[in-house]
Chains A and B, each alone.
Chain A
Amino acid sequence: MKPTFTGLMLVFFGFAVCAQNPHIQGLPGRPDPARYFQPQIGVPQINMPAPPSSFGMKPAWSPNPVVPNPTPESIMREQRAQQQAQARMYAGNSARNYDMPPCVPAQDIRPYYEAFTEIKAMLDGTQPKDLGRAVFLSENAYLKNLDYEAFNQGLENIVFSLLDQIKKEGNSIEDNTAKIMMLHRFFTDTMRIYNRQSGKYETHYPKHYDFEDPRGDVDITKQFVTKLIREESGQCHSMPFLFLILAQKMKVEAYLSTAPSHNYIRFRHQRKWYNLELTNGHLTSHSYVIGSGKVKVEAIQTRLFMDTITIEKSIAHALTDLASYYHEEFCYDAFYRDVVHIALDYEPMNASGLAALSNYYTAWFEHAKKVAGNPPYAYLDRFPQLREIFGACNALHHHLNEIGYQEMSDEEYEQWRQDVNRDWHRKTLKELKP
């Protein structure tokens, strides 16, 4: 999740547009995603004349334009004439096309489009809801070289061995807590997994936290579940998702839960709720999550954070991930927006989905402003579409504020990382790995 939210805040404050309509559904522009895969004649060209530099007026995007010092009358007359000429210049621009152009020709987005179609079918109910498949599809759309059979078989082998181990230790495989504890052991301890294809035992080491680029800012594959499986190191996105994928296969009742820039697991034992922090293998209290995650009360009340998201609903999160991988490879465009919209339809209180939509609106607004010829703020009313997009940005921002959304700032994240760094458990896990 790119931290451009702060950028959005800095850009939009000081504007005098009323923020209305907090519901996402009312916002503009929701065409049918199926049209993406129509053959395109070509990307529409937008030929924009740049405003002549001799006007001397910089496009200032602020409701309080700079008032010039009192000048002699002749200069004022000249400025008035310039303003009138500029008004005439911007007069014809409202009829332009403000939609975001596609990043690349439609053929190039085929892997994403196919992944999107299949994941959407899972959410619609026309395909079985398989979190592992959804996660695989989103990651493979980016990597394009993964083998589903190998991926799935690897997971099945793990599940088989874990269930076997539960039986060996004298517990029932119907016991939810026993299965969760075994999954916990898989993440935090060395285990031997029987590979049914090769007939050999493999040693799986504890999954530790990858401190290098954990947010995936440089290399987004750091967030991938497939990377966690391959390298046995992950972060707060891949670890909970792998846990839930295995939990679904083992028929375990476990839930995804979120905090700012963070995911973890919640489960129930004897009617009490427990939080499992996979990045350090601890069971944590609610106060710990709130304190370390800086969660706001509004977010708890609206169930934006710290809720119990079922494995089936987590598939909507996989769809949000697909959008972010798409952006990582290409850019923001209408396909990205529609993927995010569908994800939010099924999971409206999805923090990363809302952030993704907000990032899109920022980019869309910047694009639309360029299309309109960067008119000064005073001329906003002449461009109804631009005004609509601007209103949508504000409404979304207001909505996010109301529901208690926030991101972990870079300083807070660094502080948290240092705290986890000092955690003695990390040393212990490293000592376990030969």
Chain B
Amino acid sequence: MLNGKAPINFKKAVISVENAYYDGRLPVEMMEREIKRLAALALGYKQANAIAYEGRDRERFATYGSVFKVMSDTVKVVFAPGDTLNHLPFTYDFEDIAGRHDWSKMFVSKLLRTGTGNCHSLPYLYKMVVEELGENTHLALAPKHVYIKHRSDMLGMYNTELTSGTFPIDAWLMASGYIHLEAIQNGLYMEALSDKQSIALCLVDLAQGYEHKYGMDDVRFILLCVEAALAHYPNYPNALLLQSEALKAVLDQLAQQRQAAQTQAEKDSLQARHQKVLDHYTGLIKHIHTLGYRHMPEEMYLQWLASIKEQRKYQNPQLNTLKTY
């Protein structure tokens, strides 16, 4: 898709990445059906409920709003008086938010199966359902976080946060303290990602899935994925970090091999290779730091995530007052 040899399809990319992790045993048709079902529900909601928005793009805005509603709030479907179905929202899974112990926590398939997800799977599913309905939407990145950005005729760009079902202003993203001004100016975070950049995200997810399954003994596949992703999204922080981790693994292996080497010639050649990789690694670390990346501890992340609900000043006043009839 990135090389233009296949049409860009975010849903297909995400499903194939998760399927790879499950060695091809993912029930793909069920996932597709589920996404279509959510799209149909959202469409039904949109047709049944008008939204108080007067912009030229009110159709598109209503699509965004209805998918958001379906994912973040209970939707009542009335078949007949007394015969109501309550479609429950998706919620945040606080256990193992980074997928350290179980990488599948990041998956959309897990979200669909259990109804709980995290800041990785929830925006992905949102994007997949919105695109199923024929509209476009953008992912955006923050430290350890993915959210949604939309363009509205009346409001300009605005943010949608699926994990808490709110519309935070940009100030909230920066309030975490881990997004420097330089990071924004360099496009490291908070930029509305293009379709190609979203596919690059999937490629790095694939590499991370590989890492969780097979470790860093053979990093060639990881580096292949990461380099392909960086070709289309040069400042993607996760790709750069994964690349640095892979290079670190290579350095460790080279150091071990050098220890175990029998001849001086072997030792020298390994030393030379080690030095080359080390230079590359140091340059990369410097580059990541210059771009404005700063490591964020997990406890701080959870605290920051909760702050959007606790502090009204971070919520977008124009969107919070938008009513549905």
What is the interface of chain A, defined by CB distance below 8 A to chain B? Answer: 9, 13-16, 273, 286-287, 290-291, 294-298, 300-301, 303, 306, 401-402, 404, 406, 411
Contacts and interface: CB of A to CB of B under 8 A. Distances in A.
Contacts of B157: 296-298, 401, 404
Nearest to B155: A401
Contacts of A295: 170-171
Interface of B: 54-56, 153-154, 156-157, 169-171, 173-175, 177, 180-181, 184-185, 187, 190-191, 313-314, 317
Given A13-B55, A401-B156, A291 B175 contact: yes
A14 B317 CA distance: 22
Contacts of A298: 156-157
Contacts of B187: 301
Nearest to A9: B154
User: What 10 A-B pairs have minimum CB-CB distances, sorted nearest first?
Assistant: A291-B171, A401-B156, A297-B190, A286-B181, A300-B184, A297-B170, A290-B171, A290-B174, A287-B174, A296-B170
18 contacts: A14-B56, A15-B56, A16-B56, A286-B174, A286-B180, A287-B175, A290-B171, A290-B174, A291-B174, A291-B313, A291-B314, A294-B170, A296-B156, A298-B157, A300-B184, A401-B157, A402-B156, A404-B156
Decide if the interface of chain B is mainly helix, strand, loop or mixed: mixed
A287 B156 contact: no
Contacts of A402: 156
A301 B189 CA distance: 10
A415 to B, nearest CB: 9
Contact of B154 (A13, A16, A296): A13
Contacts of B317: 411
Contacts of A291: 171, 174-175, 313-314
A405 to B, nearest CB: 8
Given A291-B175, A298-B156, 12 more contacts: A16-B56, A286-B180, A291-B314, A294-B170, A296-B157, A297-B157, A297-B170, A297-B173, A300-B184, A300-B185, A401-B153, A406-B156
B153 A13 contact: yes
A167 to B, nearest CB: 35
A276 to B, nearest CB: 15
Contacts of B56: 13-16
B181 A306 contact: yes
A412 to B, nearest CB: 8
Nearest to B177: A287
Contacts of B153: 13, 401
B125 to A, nearest CB: 24
Given A291-B313, A401-B156, A301 B184 contact: yes
Given A13-B54, A300-B184, A290 B154 contact: no
B279 to A, nearest CB: 25
A402 B192 CA distance: 12
Nearest to B149: A297
Contacts of A14: 54-56
Nearest to B314: A291
B171 to A, nearest CB: 4
Nearest to B316: A294
A15 B54 CA distance: 11
Nearest to A273: B181
